Amino acid sequence: MKNFICGGYISISWPTCNYNNVATKDDPASFMFSINRNAKLNAKNNGKDAVRTNPSYFLLFGLGDFILQDSCNKSNINRADIGSSFILPEGIERNTTESKTYLVGEE
């Protein structure tokens, strides 16, 4: 994840999570974006499972579409694999190099 500017938006409040569970919420207005690619990736299925919390992570969009670890600036296991809960651009399939690098620039 170098030299790419990306992020996401949700219209709901971020779900709270305690140390024993994962919380998932739907948000039809949510999206992720890439400044470098001038792209907006909308949620699939009316925003089902677009927002997640997990005590092991800092931030999760979708069911693995974009994951940041706690202390993400020091972690090399942050990842993206768009296509589970957010719509990929035409011609890109989930679980490919393209889906894993589209948002963040590299695996």
pLDDT by residue (tens digit) across 68-103?
776 656 666 677 899 999 999 999 999 999 999 898
What distance in Å separates the CA atoms of residue 18 and residue 86, rounded to the nearest whole number?
A: 25
- Return d(Cα 102, Cα 90) in angstroms, integer: 12
Q: What is the pLDDT of residue 77?
A: 67
Are 58 and 70 within 8 A, CB to CB?
Answer: yes
pTM attached to this predicted model: 0.84
The pLDDT value given to residue 71:
61
According to DSSP, the residues that pair with 24 across neighbouring strands are 52
Quote the pLDDT of residue 73.
62
DSSP for 45-100 reads: GGGTT-EEE-TTEEEEETTTTEEEETTTTT-S--EE-TTSSBPPPTT--TTSHHHH
Question: 9-63 pLDDT, tens per residue?
Answer: 999 987 776 666 777 889 999 999 999 999 999 999 999 999 888 777 777 899 8
